[in-house]
Structure 1
C-alpha cells in the first residue's frame, strides 16, 4: 500500500497524519545508504599490486612513466599520422562515443528529478444525477488546473540516483577509452605487419637469388661434366620451395593493408598505397618505459570501468534504502472546477498548497529484500573490480616476460643467421672449386633459408610483443 496525501486536503485527520509523516521524513533527513569509498580490501589497494613489476628488472625495460602517445617512441611520422586518423575516424570509436553521449543524457535526465515539475490538466464531463429525472444531456462540467511539485529529497533517493547515473556514465567513458587503447595498438600492429611482411619478402628474395645462382652454377657444371642431372633437380627444388613461400607472404601483407584501412575508417580497397612497399618496420632504439603497478592501476581504462561500476552499485543500495522513508515534496495546485458557465468565477476557483508525501510503509519486507539485492550486486561489482585488476596485472607481467624472452631469442637468431650466411658462402666457394659435394652446399643453403625465415619471423614477433606491452600498460586513451 502506498499512502499519498493531496496538497489540498484540509481535514484535521489528514493534517495530523501529514504532520506525523513529515516529521518521520525530517528525522530521516540524510542520504540513505553507504557513501562510496575505495575499499581497503580491494586488490588495487594491496602493496603487491602497486609495486614494481616482477619482470620489470629486465634490460629491455626502464622504470619511467609511459607516454600518453606511446607510438611516438618509434619516431615514425607515418605511424603517428595513421594512429591520429584511426582515433578520429574508427567506427568502433564512433559507436563508443555515441554510447557515452547517451549515458551523459541519462545523467541529465536523472538530475532533472531535483527540479520543479509541473502538470497541466483539463477535461469536461456531463453530469446528470439519476434521481433528478431531468432531460438530457444534463450539466456540462469542466476541470482545468495546474499542479506543481518540488521534491525535498529528504532521504537522498534522488542524490543516490544521480550518483548511480554518474557512475554508469563514467564506466561508459572508461569503456570508450578502452576502445581507444585497442584502436591505437591495432593500428600500430597493422602498420608494422605491412612493413615486416615486406621485410620477410626481401629476406626470402635474397635467399631465392642465392639459390638461383646455385642452380645456374649447377647447370654449367653439368654441361661441363662435373655435375649430374640429380644435382640440377635438387637445386631446382630448392628454388621452387622458396618461390612457393612468396604468395602467402604477399597475402599476409595484403591482409595487413586491409586491416589498417578498416581501422582508420576507410574501405579496404582504399588502403594507404604509400606504405605498400614499406621495407623497414618501426623500431625502438631504447628500453621500454613501463612504470609500476600503481601507475598501471591508475591508467588502465578497464580497471577504471570496473571501479566506476562499483560506485554505481554502491549508490543503488542508497536508492533501495531510501524506500524505507517517506518521499516528501512541496506541492501546490490551482484551477477551476465546476459547470462551464461558472468557469472564471471565484466560486469555481480552487487553490491548494502543502506537502506531497508518498510512503510504502506496509511493504518494508519488500524494501529490505531490495536492499539485500543491491548489497549483493555491490559485492559482485567489488569481485569484478578485483578480477579486472588481477587480470590486468597478469596480462602486463605476461607481456613483459614474453617481450624480454623474444628479445633474447631474436639476438640468438641474429647470430645464427650470420653464421648460416658465412657457412653458405663458404660452401658455395668450396663447391665451385670441387672441394665439397653438392649435398653439403644444399644443406648450408637450406640452413641459411631457415635462419633467414626464423629471424624475419622473430623480428615481426618482436614488434608484436612491443605492442602487446604498450596495450597491456593501457596507454593511448588520453585525449
Structure 2
C-alpha cells in the first residue's frame, strides 16, 4: 500500500510533462524576391528612422515628438499591455498549488429557567492546499497563449505609434496645402481686382464696355467665394492635429496660422524587400502573435477532453474550553480526486473544433496582412516614383501661364487684345498654381504612405517595452489612477 501511495504522485508528475495539441511555429508564405520598382537588398531596420525630418520642417518635427507620448490611441495601447501582463500572471498562477488559511473563535452559553449550559469557547484554524495536476499541459498552454497575447499587446503599441505618425504628418501636410490654396486665391483676388480697376478706367475712356466690367467683377467674386471653404479645410486639419496631440487647439492654431511652406520630401526611400515586412511591420507581428495565441488555445481545449486529477489536503487544529472540559483536537486529510468527463453532449469536442477553426482563421488573417503589406508598399512606391514628374510638369504649367498673363495684360493695356484674354489667362494661372499645390501635397502624402508601409519610424523614441515605463499616463479620475 505504501508503494502505491509513493508511486501515484510520481506517476502524476511524469504525466504532467505531456502537452496535448500542436506547438506553434513561425508561419510562412510565398513572397516575391523584391518589390516592383524596388531594390534587391534588405532595408535593415527602418523602425527607428525619423523619416519625417526629410521635410526639413522644424514645426512638424516638434509636433511629432510632442504628441507621441500624449496621443490617446498610443496611451490606450499602453493600457492594454497592463491588461495582458495581468492575464499572464493569472494563467501562470494555475500552474501552482493554492493555499488557503482560516481562523475562527466562538463562544456559546444557554440561559433559561428550563435549560441552561455552562459557558464554552472554541478556537479553530485551518490550512487547505489544492493543486490541479497539469497532466495534459492545459495550464501551460494557457500561459503560453497569454504570453503570446502580451507580445501582441506590445505590437499593438507599435501599430498605434505608426498610425499616429501617419495621421499626424498627413494632417500637417494637408493643413499647409490648404493654407497654400488660400494664399493662391488671395493673390488671384488681388490680381483680378487690379484688372477690374483697369477695366473701369477703360470704361470711362470709352475703350471698354459695361459687360467687360461685369465679367471682371464676376471673376473677383467667384474667387472670393472659394476662400471660406479652403479656410474651413485648413482649420479642420489643424483641429485634428490638436486632437492627435491630446491638447487644446488654441495654441496650436495660433502657431499654424503664422503659415509655412508646403512640406516637400528631400530624400529617397529605401524600401528593402518583401521579407523585411514580416520583421518590421507591427501589424504583421501582431497577426502572428494572435495566431500563436490561437494555436496554444487548441492545446488547452484538447486537454479538457481527458481526466484531471486534483491533489488536495487540509489540517484543522482546534481548542475547546468550558467549565466542564478543555482540550484540543486535530483533523487532517490528503488525497487525489479524479474528474473524468464522461458525457457532455459533444461540447468539449465542439470547443476543440472551434479553437482549430479560429487558429486557421488567424493564419489566413496573418497571410492577408502580409500580402496587404506588400501591396501597400508596391502601390505607394509606384505613386511616389511618379509624383516628382507631376510636380515638375505643374511647375512648368505655372511658369507658362504666368508669362501668358503678363503678355495678355500688357496687350490689353495697349488695346491690342480683349479683356477675355486677360481673364482667361488669370483663370488658367490660378488653376495651374492650384494644380502645383495639389501635386506637392500628393508627393508629400505618398512619401508618408511609403514610409508607413515599410514600417518606418515608429520606434524613433525607443521600443514599446521602454516607452511603456516612461510615457506619461493620461489624465484619469482619481478612482482610476494607478496605485504603485
TM-score range with shorter-chain normalisation? 0.7 to 0.9
Q: CA deviation at 1:284?
A: 1.3
Provide the secondary structure at the position in 1 that maps to 2:233: helix
Deviations 1:335-375 (A, max 9, x none): 136977699956x2123445x34432425855433322221
TM-score by length of 2: 0.83
Provide the secondary structure at the position in 1 that maps to 2:46: coil
Q: 2:249 aligns with which of 251, 261, 268?
A: 268
Does the CA-based 8 Å contact 1:403-1:466 persist in structure 2? yes
Residue ranges of structure 2 left out of the alignment (5+ in a row): 108-114, 463-484
Q: What's 1:47 paired with?
A: 31
Provide the secondary structure at the position in 2 that maps to 1:435: coil
Does the CA-based 8 Å contact 1:83-1:187 persist in structure 2? yes
Residues 16-165 of structure 1 mapped to structure 2, 5 A cutoff: 23=11, 26-27=14-15, 29-40=17-28, 43=29, 46-48=30-32, 51-56=33-38, 66=46, 68=48, 69-121=50-102, 144-150=125-131, 152-165=133-146
Deviations 1:190-215 (A, max 9, x none): 22222222222222222222222211
Q: CA deviation at 1:22?
A: 6.9
Q: CA deviation at 1:427?
A: 1.0
Residue ranges of structure 1 left out of the alignment (5+ in a row): 1-11, 127-134
1:453 aligns with 2:418: no
Q: What's 2:205 paired with?
A: 224
Query: How far apart, in 2, do the equivalents of 1:334 and 1:99 lie?
Result: 41
Does the CA-based 8 Å contact 1:171-1:304 persist in structure 2? yes
Q: What's 1:360 paired with?
A: 340
May I ask how many residue pairs the two structures share in their alignment?
Answer: 450
Deviations 1:306-354 (A, max 9, x none): 11011001111111222344444554421136977699956x2123445
CA-based RMSD: 3.3
1:395 aligns with 2:395: no
Deviations 1:234-274 (A, max 9, x none): 11111111122211121122112211111111123342522
Q: What's 1:5 paired with?
A: none
Does the CA-based 8 Å contact 1:194-1:276 persist in structure 2? no
Does the CA-based 8 Å contact 1:86-1:184 persist in structure 2? no
Does the CA-based 8 Å contact 1:83-1:184 persist in structure 2? yes
Q: What's 1:294 paired with?
A: 275
**Stretch of structure 1 that moved more, 240-249 or 318-327:** 318-327
Provide the secondary structure at the position in 2 that maps to 1:225: coil
1:377 aligns with 2:365: no
Does the CA-based 8 Å contact 2:15-2:136 persist in structure 1? no
Q: 1:287 to 1:476 in 2, by over 3 A?
A: closer
